[in-house]
């Protein structure tokens, strides 16, 4: 019999937010709004769609392993040296490569309970030991993380803003933390939601730092609307990028993703519309939660985390919302058992969501005899 390592046997497959088509089949619903996966409600960048259409004729060709044109576009956009950039199939792929390239089985990796589930998977599937500290006020406690560094610590994962809580630490806090981290410990700074957080003047913006032990990961899945193509990039010192090329799959990202990424980075009009809509949608959601006395966490992203009375309540809330055509995300698997994450939508989607949220929340309050 084939032997499966214990750390693989113990893994639980990642469960994404429910697809619209699946819910439609299950519930026979005519209208479904998905606000569970922090996707862009405006769709993809129009420039990216056009670039994909033009690239279709070259599908018989392998993609450029170095993603040269895309790397140059990223370098220009963010004022980064090209040899400090590597592209991959989304943040998940890049995190897996970073863990593989810079840790061994005897190492310990430090992060928090209540952050991006992808890092848990990337670490667990390699048999590395993961140390999870509790969040403080739903955010990373960088002082506690610095104190928790041990001789076995080889890597630290931070998400800023954090997913699924939406919280953000500022530049001063981050810089003070990095001063405490020994140079031999790799720090991953996941900035998947940087486009939404950039409006805040105290946002660290990792690509402007030149720490030798810092690597930044970003994605074009969110604000740029390319989630279906799985496209991301990492920025770090040249020796870090050289090591990552040694473990990266050679023709990743694919041809269409590369061309779409180049075009999306140049679509400032689409990005502006995305950020404008996000603020309008979140304002309506915040008002709804406040009006109905639903606890919410201050966000710097395109979603809001709401806190329910219990994990069972949160699970029932998500289920009852889906029964009515609204897909939201119970984030217990992320480590926030009472949390439900709801992202911004079009204004019509947001208004629909608010109607469902209010109906379901008060129904469950009555059923469970909880004082609102």
* Domain-wise residue ranges, the chain: 6-43+269-368, 46-267
Whether 249 has a pLDDT exceeding 80, the answer reads: yes
Alpha-carbon distance of 293 to 362, in angstroms, equals 11
The C-alpha R_g of the chain, in whole angstroms, comes to 21
For residue 84, the 8-state DSSP code is: G
Pairing relationship of beta strands 214-219 and 186-190 according to DSSP bridges? parallel
Alpha-carbon distance of 195 to 328, in angstroms, equals 22
pLDDT of residue 29: 79
CATH 3.30.70.3270 fits 6-43+269-368, yes or no: no
Cα angle, residue 196 at apex, residues 21 and 33 outer, rounded to 5°: 20
Please provide the average confidence, as pLDDT, over all residues in the chain. Answer: 94
Whether 231 has a pLDDT exceeding 70, the answer reads: yes
Cα angle, residue 230 at apex, residues 14 and 212 outer, rounded to 5°: 90
In this prediction, residue 68 has a pLDDT band, given cuts at 50, 70 and 90, of very high
Query: Pick from 1, 15, 35: which is nearest to 321 by CA?
Result: 35
Task: Give pTM, 2 decimals.
Answer: 0.93
pLDDT in tens, 28-61: 777 899 999 999 999 999 999 999 999 999 999 9
Query: Pick from 262, 236, 285, 333: which is nearest to 41 by CA?
Result: 285
Whether 105 has a pLDDT exceeding 90, the answer reads: no
In this prediction, residue 128 has a pLDDT band, given cuts at 50, 70 and 90, of confident
CB 270 within 8 A of CB 253: no
Can you tell me the mean pLDDT for 76-104? 95
Whether 371 has a pLDDT exceeding 80, the answer reads: no
Note the CATH number of domain 46-267: 3.40.640.10
Question: CA of 139: how far to CAs of 198, 272, 295, in Å?
Answer: 18, 27, 16
In this prediction, residue 19 has a pLDDT band, given cuts at 50, 70 and 90, of confident
pLDDT in tens, 293-313: 999 999 999 999 999 999 999
pLDDT of residue 166: 98
Cα angle, residue 256 at apex, residues 85 and 261 outer, rounded to 5°: 45
In this prediction, residue 16 has a pLDDT band, given cuts at 50, 70 and 90, of low
CB 230 within 8 A of CB 253: yes
Can you tell me the mean pLDDT for 79-87? 98
């Amino acid at each position: 019999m084939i032997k499966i390592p214990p750390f693989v046997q113990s893994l639980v497959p990642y469960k994404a937010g429910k697809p619209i088509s699946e819910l439609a089949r299950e519930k026979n619903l005519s209208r479904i709004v998905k606000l569970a996966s922090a996707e862009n409600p405006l769709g993809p960048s129009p420039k990216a769609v056009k670039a994909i259409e033009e690239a279709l004729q070259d599908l018989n060709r392998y993609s450029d392993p170095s993603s040269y044109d895309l790397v140059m576009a990223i370098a220009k956009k963010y004022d980064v040296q090209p040899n400090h950039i590597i592209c991959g199939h989304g943040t998940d792929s890049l995190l897996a490569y970073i863990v593989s390239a810079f840790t061994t089985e005897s190492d310990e990796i430090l992060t928090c309970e209540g952050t991006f589930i992808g890092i848990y998977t990337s670490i667990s599937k390699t048999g590395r030991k993961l140390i999870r500290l509790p969040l403080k006020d739903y955010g990373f406690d960088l002082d506690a993380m610095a104190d928790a560094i041990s001789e076995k610590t080889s890597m630290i994962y931070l998400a800023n803003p954090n997913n699924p809580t939406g919280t953000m630490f500022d530049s001063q806090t981050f810089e003070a933390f990095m001063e405490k981290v020994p140079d031999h410990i790799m720090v991953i700074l996941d900035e998947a939601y940087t486009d939404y957080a950039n409006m805040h003047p105290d946002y660290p913006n990792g690509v402007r730092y030149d720490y030798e032990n810092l690597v930044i990961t970003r994605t074009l899945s969110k604000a740029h609307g390319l989630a279906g193509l799985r496209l991301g990039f990492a920025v770090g010192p040249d020796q870090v990028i050289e090591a990552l090329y040694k473990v990266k799959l050679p023709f990743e990202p694919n041809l269409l993703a590369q061309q779409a990424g180049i075009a999306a980075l140049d679509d400032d009009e689409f990005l502006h519309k995305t950020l404008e809509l996000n603020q309008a949608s979140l304002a309506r959601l915040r008002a709804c939660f406040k009006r109905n006395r639903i606890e919410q966490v201050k966000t710097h992203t395109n979603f809001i985390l709401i806190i329910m009375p219990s994990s069972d309540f949160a699970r029932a809330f998500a289920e009852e919302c889906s029964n009515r055509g609204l897909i939201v995300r119970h984030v217990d698997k992320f480590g926030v058992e009472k949390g439900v994450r709801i992202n911004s939508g079009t204004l019509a989607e947001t208004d629909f969501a608010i109607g469902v949220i209010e109906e379901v929340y008060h129904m469950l309050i009555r059923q469970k005899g909880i004082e609102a």
